[in-house]
Structure 1
């Protein structure tokens, strides 16, 4: 995505420099030149922007998990809000447009074996899909494809007991956010009080800690400093996910990707040509055909009907 972002900003800058006959500029600092492209750190900026190319950066790294977004007062927009605004900005594009919306934190929840965040992320993605379907039904020519590149975590039902859905619904924090709170609580007390502090922070997040053994809590305390790391590195978030999943009777086979088939949904223009089980590479072919573009020659889409002056790009 970094390469895509760099290419997009470079091309936008080049078009503007060509139109204004300015000398070419460097793009090493992608956000240090606000005149090259409208960019925003707060969602309200995008809400008042006219239809044009724009860049919204609402977090220095990954966006917050949906269930933490409002609880932690991040002021980040939801996936559905960003999707709705993107469609509004792109709707006037005379050549049509390609929009990719990724529910990327579904994958992160799987890497952490976090059943609670996974549910909330899937629901957030579903709300974003609803925005796209609403637009496609109004537009009557948009092709909508909903797919995944892989499954993560190997979630399966392998016990005689069903998952404890009531307990799952009562947990208020992702494992990522809970790990930070767990770390602070445990390190704020002396060793004799660590287990009590750990159980207290778990109960405050709605975790039924009574079903966690002292050995399990101790194993969590041992990795209490492994927080603030990349989701692929495991650490305390993964250990919390594993322990809480056991309590909830939720089963995972791995903390990495799997090769099982994934769901595919299509709607709208030319969707009938996509059916049955297909290889994921065929979806790219379908998009190319729908856009009527030559992938070898490339294509430059016009960003709506607004001029650069409307976007304050001068």
Structure 2
């Protein structure tokens, strides 16, 4: 063998072996395409915490119960999008949190879980919405959780702590982002902030219209910057919004997305917008199948809203994805699987609402009657007694992210599983590869397998600054 060829080959192999598997599999940084830089606008859609089973079950529910395929899956059927699998890891784990995941999209780097666009040595990476804002585009974020939560924040700010939401609310004001719609009154209201700062006043002085209810959306004027805060904490789950009158004046995600698009679409230099279904993640943490499916379907309606605009506009890159999986729900084999799954259509409320209503003095009969009213599930006495034991202190309280009242989410999901044939592997994030779809100018840049930071690079190549 020629010794020089051998040494050259050895050096090449040695270089390859220093790369991580995700680097070997990632194609985003090597793309060269003559059609790049054609998009005027970007709409980046995130169904937070959406495992593939969530996407599948929402489509199955839509077909079986609503009589139509989901909008996301119809994009695949109609071959309107390019499609990829994505590795979602963070800098310090194969399983990411939303802050690190959003930083991969927003900052183009993998950071440690819990941080927003802050590198290992404290270096700050300029978030992508700031880059586009400085280039003259309008920029906005829409979410069903607090507007200062990790996913919107990852596109906009640098913070060593994702939970620094009062400070993130102030950062947004300094950046003068054009549209901010979601929840989180406690981070803007002086009566609820520890420092008593009136951020609503700060935003008003900067020319923002403050929105608090669905009706306020009718008062918007062209050219105004918008701060819409529609709840303390997150917005209500979609299924509760449908059935509970106290939530009737809360806008749905699709309506918020349309509001943001309409407010920015005429800007001559274009716009960038993030649309997040944040409570898909929260419902997965609670193993709450009705909340999960209905919030995923609400996201799916937002997909239609965005695609209706993008197809007509012709200059908008749309990216539809998730930041990570969560709880990996899925349907379970059995002779009654279809009938059992379809019974979810009888559920009127979230598990959170149902379990919150049970009181210490509820008898076994009271619990059985209430569960039947909420889910059309007939409990046996042992199941009702087991639930009752959580409320009279005989069972250990359940922990879990977003389980603020320590409700028996896991126990109740196991009771439901026996009737609806849906199982869960956990109550937390997973490291599974996830779906990505892209439409519009630049969608040809999406390769079959990518890592999360590649979407940052794709946006910059498709929509030049």
TM-score normalized with structure 2 length:
0.54
Q: Provide the residue aligned with 1:123 in structure 2.
A: 297
Q: Secondary structure at the match of 2:243?
A: coil
State whether residues 111 and 238 of structure 1, in contact with CA within 8 Å, keep that contact through their aligned partners in structure 2.
Answer: no
> What is the aligned counterpart of 1:214 among 381, 384, 387?
381
Say if 2:455 is the partner of 1:283.
yes
Counterparts of 1:73-92 in structure 2, within 5 Å, are: 73=245, 74=247, 75-92=249-266
Deviation for aligned residue 1:248: 1.4
Structure 2 Cα separation of the partners of residues 43 and 101 of structure 1? 17
Say if 2:372 is the partner of 1:203.
yes
Q: 1:124 to 1:85 in 2, by over 3 A?
A: same
Q: 1:47 to 1:5 in 2, by over 3 A?
A: farther
Per-residue CA deviations over 1:197-221 (Å, capped at 9, x if unaligned) read 0011001113322xx4433322222
Q: Provide the residue aligned with 1:250 in structure 2.
A: 422
Q: Provide the residue aligned with 1:187 in structure 2.
A: 360
State whether residues 257 and 275 of structure 2, in contact with CA within 8 Å, keep that contact through their aligned partners in structure 1.
Answer: yes
Q: Secondary structure at the match of 1:205?
A: helix
Deviation for aligned residue 1:288: 2.5
Q: 1:218 to 1:31 in 2, by over 3 A?
A: farther
Counterparts of 1:138-157 in structure 2, within 5 Å, are: 138-157=312-331
Q: Provide the residue aligned with 1:309 in structure 2.
A: none
Q: Provide the residue aligned with 1:172 in structure 2.
A: 348
Q: Provide the residue aligned with 1:48 in structure 2.
A: 219
Q: 1:7 to 1:288 in 2, by over 3 A?
A: farther
State whether residues 390 and 408 of structure 2, in contact with CA within 8 Å, keep that contact through their aligned partners in structure 1.
Answer: yes
Say if 2:211 is the partner of 1:35.
no
Deviation for aligned residue 1:139: 1.1
Structure 1 Cα separation of the partners of residues 317 and 196 of structure 2? 33
Say if 2:184 is the partner of 1:10.
no
> What is the aligned counterpart of 1:260 among 425, 428, 432?
432
Q: Secondary structure at the match of 1:166?
A: helix
Structure 1 Cα separation of the partners of residues 269 and 308 of structure 2? 20
Per-residue CA deviations over 1:114-143 (Å, capped at 9, x if unaligned) read 111111111111100100001101110100
Structure 1 Cα separation of the partners of residues 298 and 414 of structure 2? 23
Structure 1 Cα separation of the partners of residues 459 and 417 of structure 2? 38
> What is the aligned counterpart of 1:223 among 374, 390, 404?
390
Per-residue CA deviations over 1:219-264 (Å, capped at 9, x if unaligned) read 222323879x962565233432232123212111100011111111
Q: Secondary structure at the match of 2:433?
A: coil
Q: 1:270 to 1:158 in 2, by over 3 A?
A: same
User: Which of the pair is proportionally richer in strand?
Assistant: 2
Structure 1 Cα separation of the partners of residues 448 and 343 of structure 2? 37
Structure 1 Cα separation of the partners of residues 169 and 464 of structure 2? 23
Name the count of aligned residue pairs: 271
Deviation for aligned residue 1:188: 4.7
Structure 2 Cα separation of the partners of residues 107 and 81 of structure 1? 20
Q: Provide the residue aligned with 2:135 in structure 1.
A: none
Which stretches in structure 2 are left out of the alignment for 5+ residues? 1-147, 149-164, 178-194
Deviation for aligned residue 1:195: 0.8
Structure 1 Cα separation of the partners of residues 228 and 369 of structure 2? 38
Following superposition, which runs of at least 4 residues in structure 1 exceed 6 angstroms of deviation? none
State whether residues 341 and 421 of structure 2, in contact with CA within 8 Å, keep that contact through their aligned partners in structure 1.
Answer: no
Aligned residues: CA RMSD: 2.5
Deviation for aligned residue 1:155: 1.1
Q: Provide the residue aligned with 2:80 in structure 1.
A: none
Per-residue CA deviations over 1:149-184 (Å, capped at 9, x if unaligned) read 111112134443525123211111111111222x2x
Structure 2 Cα separation of the partners of residues 92 and 99 of structure 1? 14
Structure 1 Cα separation of the partners of residues 460 and 353 of structure 2? 40
TM-score normalized with structure 1 length:
0.79
Q: 1:66 to 1:92 in 2, by over 3 A?
A: same
Deviation for aligned residue 1:42: 1.1
